[in-house]
Structure 1
Amino acid sequence: MSLVVIVGPPGSGKTTIGRALAEALGAAFRDADADIVATAGKPIADIFVDDGEEHFRALEREAVRRAVAEHDGVLALGGGAVLAESTRKLLADVPVVHLRVDLAEAVRRNEIDKGRPLLAVNPRATLRRLLEERLPLYREVADIEVDTTGRDVADLTAEIAAKLAVRTVVVGDAETPYPVLIGRGTVDRLPEFLGKAARVAVLHTESTALLAERVGALLPDGVEATLMELPDAEDGKTVAVAEQCWDALGAEGFTRTDLVVGVGGGAVTDLAGFVAACWLRGVAVVHVPTSLLGAVDAAVGGKTGVNTAAGKNLVGAFHPPRAVLVDLDNFATLPRRDLAAGLAEVVKAGFIADPVILDLVERDPEAALDAANPVVAELVERAIAVKAEVVASDLKEGGLRAILNYGHTFAHAIEK
C-alpha cells in the first residue's frame, strides 16, 4: 500500500490507532518519534533537557523527511511535527488522518503517560494552548479528521479504513476539471475545497438539516456558515426560491471568493448550482448529494436549473461544481423505493457505455439495493465515470451529451 500519515495532539492516540490501522490494512507501522529516539540514542525527554527544543525539532524534521520518502504503510508523527512548514509541504500529496481529542480526554490520557517534556509543568493549560495553536495546522494538512474522544480503537480503525477507501472520478470538462469523491465519510473532506472562502452558504431541505449543520461545523475558524432551508423536492426549484437565496447572500455580503454548498437530492443541487451560477455572475459550488439518483445524475455534469410554467429545467446555466462529495453513509436511511429510482439511472449508464454495470446488477439485484454493500460503491463509481466521460467531451450538450437524456424527454413531458 501507499503511505498514510497520522497527525494529532498529544494524547489523541496516534501510536495506538496507527498500529491498529496498519494491522487492519495489512501494512507496516512506523513512528517518527521512535526514529528520533533511535537516531539520538536517548529518550525525547532527555533530548529536550540536554539539547533544547530547537535541536529536537531539527531531528524531527529530518526523521519525517526520511520516513515520508522511505515508508510504505502507516506513519505516526509527533504532535508538533506540523509546526514545520517543510513538513506540511511534504504532506501535501500524502493521505493524512487528523486524530482530534477534547481537552479533558487529552489531559486524562497524558496523566497516564508521563514522558512528554512539553507537558511537565501545568499540563492542562499547556494542552489547551497546544490544541488551540496547532488545530489550524492539523486541519491544513489533513484529508480525514476523526474525533477519538471516548471512542473504541476498533471502531475508530474501521471508520478510518473506510474513509481511506475513497474512489475518485475526475470530470475533465474543457473549463476546470473537478473531482467526484465516492466513499464513506467524504463529506468530511469539504474543508479541502473551500478555496479562499470566508463565507459558505449551505442550501438544504428540512430532511437534510442535520447533515447541513454538520457541514457547517466542519468549517475552520474564520469561515462563516449560513444555512438556508429550501422547500422540499421540486417545490424548491423555482425562481422565487432562488431569489430568496440571492437576497440572503446579499445580506451576508457574499463575494466571488465565497462558496455555495448544496446538501440534498437532485432538486437541491440543481437549485444550489443555479444560485451559485447567477450570483455575481458565478461563484463556486460544492455538491453533497444525499440520494443515489442525485449522486449519479444531477450533482455531476454542471447542469443547473429551475422549473417555470413553460416547463421543467428550461431556465438554468451550465456551471460545473468545484467538487462533488458522494458520501455513501447518506444512503443508509434511504427508502428502498428511492434506492431503486437511483439504480435505474445507474442501469441507464450501463446501457450507454458500461456493460459491467448490467452484469453486477443482474448477478445480485438485492446487493445493488443494499446501501451497505460494497457493490454499491462500484456501481456509483462506474455510473459517474460514464457521465464524466460524456460531459468531458460535450459539456454544453451540443451533441453526444444528448445520450444522457435517455428517457428524460418523454418523462418530463408526462410529468408536465
Structure 2
Amino acid sequence: MSLIVIVGPPGSGKTTVGRALADALGAPFRDADADIVAVAGKPIADIFVDDGEDHFRALEREAVRRAVAEHDGVLALGGGAVLSEATRKLLADVPVVHLRVDLAEAVRRNEIDKGRPLLQVNPRATLRRLLDERLPLYREVADVEVDTTGRDVDDLAAEIRARLAVRTVAVNDAETPYPVLIGRGTVERLPEFLGKAARVAVLHTESTALLAQRVGSLLPDGVEATLMELPDAEDGKTVAVAEQCWDALGAEGFTRTDLVVGVGGGAVTDLAGFVAACWLRGVAVVHVPTSLLGAVDAAVGGKTGVNTAAGKNLVGAFHPPRAVLVDLDNFATLPERDLAAGLAEVVKAGFIADPAILDLVEADPRAALDATGPVVAELVERAIAVKAEVVASDLKEGGLRAVLNYGHTFAHAIEKLEHYRWRHGDAVAVGMVYAAHLNAITGRVDLVERTEAVLESLGLPTTYEAGRWDELLQVMKIDKKNVGATQRFVLLDALAAPVVVDDVTAEQQREAYERLTA
C-alpha cells in the first residue's frame, strides 16, 4: 500500500470518504487536521482565534509535510492545505483524489459541523468564494476527481479505488508524445485533454451513441459538442464518409484549436484520426476505444486511414492523438467472440516482444476472456506497452514498426477476399498461424503448435479455406510492406525476435498455405 491523499473543500466528505476508502483498501487512515490539533493541544477553531490563520497555515504545512513523509495509507488534508505552493509541490509525486461537491450540499453538510472557523459568518457566501478560489488548485494537484453530491459513501470508495488503478503508458515519440490511460472510468479524464478547444466533434456509431452523449456531457461550460454518427464498422471508413465529416466541421466553424474525439472501435478511431489529420492540415484528436481490438491496435500509434477498392488502409496519414482513454468498463458488455478477436492482437504482441503475455493466456484462458477481471487489464497494458515502444522508435513506419504487422500480410488478404466480413482479430489469428508455418519452413523457430494452441484456447480460428491461393497471393503482392515487386514478411528468428525478410520464395509461401489449410 502506498500513500493516497484526499483533498477538497469543506463539506466534500474528505474524512468520511477517506475512512471508507481506507477500509476498502485495508489501509490505515490519517487526518492532517487531527495531527494539527494533537500538536497544538487545542481545536482548530481555537488556533484561529488565539493565534491567527497564518499560524494555523504554518502548522498545517508542517503537518502535511510530516504525514506525506511518514504515512502509508489514506491521508485527508484540510480544505485550505492546497493554498501552500510547498504543499502542492509535495503532492506532485503522490496520487491525489479531489472530492467535489455542489454549493447546496456543502452548505447543508457544514451546517451540521459547526467547528469550521472560516464558515462562522455567512457560510453560504464564504463557501461559494472558497469553492471558486480553490477549485483550480484542487485540480492542479488531483489525479482523480469525484463528485460526492448525493452519493453513497461506499459507492464513492469503490469508484475511487477503481479509478486509482488507472495505468498510464507513455508513447514517447519525438514529434508528439502522448499518454494512453488504461483503467476504469478513464473517459472521465477527457476534460484534461481539451486544450484550447471551444468545439468538440464526437465521432461515433449507433452502437456507441450513449457513450458519445456521455462524452459530450463531460465538456465544461463554453465548450460545444457536435455528435456525428458514422456507418458501422468498415462501412464508415471511406473517403465519402470523411468528406461528410469535413462538411460538418466547416458548417460548425471548427478551427485548429478545436478537437475531434473518436468513440468506438478501430474503424471509428481510424476514421476520426484521418478526419482530424486532414482538417485544416491537422487538428487534435483524442481516442476513446470501445473494443479491446481498437484499444490495443488502431487507437495507439498515430496511423489513420480509410479503405478503397484497392485495399484496406491504403489511403491515410500519420497523425498521433493527443491522448488515448482506454476505459476497461467499455469492454464489459462485449460479446466473448469480439473480446477474443481483440486478444489476437494481444497474443501477437506476446510473440513479437513480450512472452509474458503468452504465459498469462496459457495459464488461464478463461481469465483472459473475463473483461471485468485483472488479467485483461494486465494484458491490455502489456500489449499497449509493446506498441508504444515500437511506435516511439518509428512513428512513420520506416523500419522497426513493420514488426507490428506479424501475421498481417496474410490477414489483410483474407479480409479483402472476405469483403471485410471477417473480424480483424480472426484474420490476424489465421495470419499468425500462416507466419508460424513460414518460420518453420524457412529454417527459423518452430512455434506452430504453440501458436495454434494459444489461439484455439481463446476460441480463435487457426485454419483457412483451401483452393484460394492464387487470389490470396494477388492481394499479398500489394501489401504496404512490399518494396516494388519484392514481397516482405515479418517472421520470427526466435520467440520475441522479429525480423523483416524479403527472401521468402513463392514455393515456401505456397507450402505454408497448404500446411495451413491441410
TM-score, normalization by structure 1: 0.91
Q: Deviations over 1:299-352 (max 9, x none)?
A: 111110112233221111111122211111111111112111111221122222
Which moves more between the two structures, 64-73 or 195-204? 64-73
- Equivalence for 1:374: 374
Percent same amino acid at aligned positions? 94
Q: RMSD between aligned alpha carbons?
A: 2.4
Alignment of 1:336 onto 2:336:
yes
Shift of 1:251: 3.7
Whole-Å separation in 2 of the counterparts to 1:141 and 1:27 = 22
Assess if the C-alpha contact under 8 Å between 1:136 and 1:220 holds in 2. no
Deviation at 1:66, TM superposition (A): 4.3
SS at match of 1:42: coil
Displacement after TM superposition at 1:56 (Å): 3.6
Q: Cα distance 1:85–1:200, how it changes in 2: closer, same or farther (>3 A)?
A: farther
Q: Which runs of 5 or more residues in structure 1 are unaligned?
A: none
- Between the aligned partners of 1:317 and 1:95, the Cα distance in structure 2 is 37
Question: Could you tell me how far 1:65 is from its partner in structure 2?
Answer: 4.2
Evaluate the alpha carbon distance shift between residue 113 and residue 170 of structure 1 in structure 2; reply closer, same or farther with a 3 A threshold: same
SS of 1:67's equivalent in the other structure is helix
Q: Which moved more, 1:288-297 or 1:75-84?
A: 75-84
Any idea what the Cα deviations from partners look like across 1:365-414, whole Å, max 9, x if unmatched?
11111111111111111111222222223222222322322333333333
C-alpha spacing 1:60/1:385, structure 2 compared with 1 (3 Å)? same
Cα offset, 1:84, TM superposition = 4.1
CA distance in 1: counterparts of 2:85 and 2:260, whole angstroms = 30
Per-residue deviation, residues 259-312 of structure 1 (Å, max 9, x unmatched): 322111111111111122122222222211110000111011111011223322
Compared CA separation, residues 411 and 76, structure 1 to 2 (3 A): same
**Could you report, residue by residue, the CA deviation over 1:208-249 in whole angstroms, capped at 9, with x for unpaired residues?**
222223223333444443333222222222222222333333
Distance 1:41 1:280, change over 3 A: farther
The farther-off stretch of 337-346 and 142-151 is: 142-151
**Other structure's SS at 1:297 match:** helix
Alpha-carbon distance change, 37 to 196 in structure 1, aligned in 2, over 3 angstroms: farther
> Is contact 1:202–1:227 with CA below 8 Å preserved after alignment?
yes
Cα distance in 2 between the residues matched to 1:85 and 1:247: 47
- Give, in whole Å, the separation in 1 of the partners of 2:21 and 2:12: 14
Contact conserved, 1:144 with 1:188, CA < 8 A, in 2? no
Shift in alpha-carbon separation, 1:63–1:255, aligned structure 2, 3 A: farther
After TM superposition, the structure 1 stretch with the greater mean CA deviation from structure 2, 285-294 or 406-415, is 406-415
Residue range with higher mean Cα deviation, 1-10 or 43-52: 43-52
Deviation at 1:134, TM superposition (A): 3.4
Q: Distance in 2 between matches of 1:90 and 1:192?
A: 21
Q: Distance in 2 between matches of 1:94 and 1:253?
A: 41
1:270-289 matches, within 5 Å, as: 270-289=270-289
**Quick check: 62-71 or 177-186, which moved more?**
62-71
Match of 2:44 in 1: 44
With 23-32 and 201-210 compared, the bigger mean Cα shift is at 23-32
How far off is 1:114 after superposition?
Answer: 1.4
Q: Does the aligned pair in 2 maintain the 1:143–1:189 contact within 8 Å?
A: no
Structure 2: where are the runs of 5+ without partners? Answer: 417-518
Mean Cα deviation higher: 48-57 or 312-321:
48-57
1:8-407 equivalences in 2 (<5 Å):
8-407=8-407
CA shift, 1:142, in A, is 1.9
The structure number with the bigger radius of gyration is 2
Q: Which residue of 2 aligns with 1:3?
A: 3
Checking the alignment, whether the CA contact within 8 Å between 1:143 and 1:192 is kept in structure 2 is no
Instruction: Between 32-41 and 201-210, report the one with greater CA deviation.
Output: 32-41
Task: Say if 1:391 and 1:222 are closer, same or farther in 2 by CA, change over 3 A.
Answer: same
Shift of the 217–38 alpha-carbon distance from structure 1 to 2, 3 Å rule, reads: farther
TM-fit CA distance, 1:55 = 4.5
